[in-house]
Amino acid sequence: MSAEPLLAHAPWLTAGGTARVLELLSADGEEARVVGGAVRNALLGLKPGDIDIATTALPEEVMRRAKAAGIKGVPTGIDHGTVTLVIDGHPYEITTLREDTETFGRKATVAFGRDWVKDAERRDFTMNGLSVDADGVVYDYVGGIADAKARRVRFIGDPDQRIAEDYLRILRFFRIHAAFGAGEPDRDGYLACIRGRAGLASLSAERVRMEMLKLLVPGGAAAAVLAMAEGGLLQALIGGVVYTGPLATMIAIERELGLAASSTRRLAALTVAVTEDAKRVAVRLRLSNAEAKALDSMGHRWWRFATKDEANARRLLYRLGAERYHDRVLLGWARNGGDVASPRWRALAELPQRWTAPKFPLKAADFIARGLAEGPALGHVLTLAEDAWLAADFPLEEAALAAIADQAAARISRDERR
């Protein structure tokens, strides 16, 4: 076991709710530590993210101490050793130390324990097996400090065994590498993921969706996804062809434009060439309605942007709205040669920042005044007039609008007017 001070990198450890929880649960023979990702992030000089706390105290004792201290306790997973303490509106997940007695995926049988070594050894990767106490001392029983500093994502123990315990760890291996790794993935872990890839079929679509969308966001996403594709790990999940080149270009475009990473947009670049792809991916990953609609919109005739001038682009922006328009332009850009420095594509992408579509100025009353009665014909003539208004490049002058209204009304037959 190795240890090193962490206080210089973790001001959150000695103040606020975290310090209060550690003090509460590190007395009268019990001990509590922050575990997992927050410790890893602190070693790397990153923000802590979620702060998870482990303790030797049993869940009922955690709840008792919280109540005595006036802290709200919620038995979120008390049968599995997890409770949530709420301090100043912020939740802290507290889990009693555990050790596996049987391992079979998500249904592993666990027993509560007091052994920090065994608790660390049941975790997935060495850099996630670290813990830190209230004094800022990091405890490392699995070589996680060296691996974190080397940006090396390595399974704890036998990689094949750890993967067989839960095949989602294959996706987590690449996600953690994309976020915190450097260089090529750890070879032993990579080969174990390939050997275990058939097990991915046993995972629920919901769990795969969650990991895939997280995987696409970090800085190393393009390289990690390419490694997955080369290892034959993506096709079975997606159910079709994957496009690693457009994904890499989409990431480069987002960076060029200073955009926040979009997991949905990146998923479209990786998987969608036509709308049928979007529908398949939405079913395979059980995407939310919003995610499915976004993929479907992006996949709809994105290739037309290759020849669109700004006048045509304005009409599409009017029809789609700024968000849908923007995402479709970026997919077209990513799939059309990938010239990230292209002034033309950049101009199309930034059109919503330069131009706001006006509202269609003609109303039903304008056509009633021209002799049309309320009914289907009125809706038809409004559609005709709107199409003509768009084709004329959004005129707002009274004379131009009157001419458009007259021409549209004239196209409605006498029978339709009734």
Spans of the chain below 70 pLDDT = 1-9, 100-110, 338, 413-418
pLDDT digits (tens, 9 = 90+) for 274-299: 999 999 999 999 999 999 999 999 99
Q: Are residues 111 and 101 in contact, defined by beta-carbon separation less than 8 angstroms?
A: yes
**Residue 333, pLDDT score:** 95
**Residue 415, pLDDT score:** 46
Residue 89: which region, alpha, beta or left (left: phi > 0; alpha: psi -120 to 50)?
A: left
What is the Cα–Cα distance from 309 to 297, expressed in whole angstroms? 20
What is the Cα–Cα distance from 232 to 235, expressed in whole angstroms? 7
**Residue 99, pLDDT score:** 77
**Residue 376, pLDDT score:** 86
**Residue 308, pLDDT score:** 84
pLDDT digits (tens, 9 = 90+) for 112-154: 889 999 999 999 999 999 999 998 899 999 999 999 999 999 9
Per the DSSP assignment, residues forming a β-bridge with 35 are 52, 131
**Residue 246, pLDDT score:** 96
Residue 373: which region, alpha, beta or left (left: phi > 0; alpha: psi -120 to 50)?
A: beta
Per the DSSP assignment, residues forming a β-bridge with 87 are 90
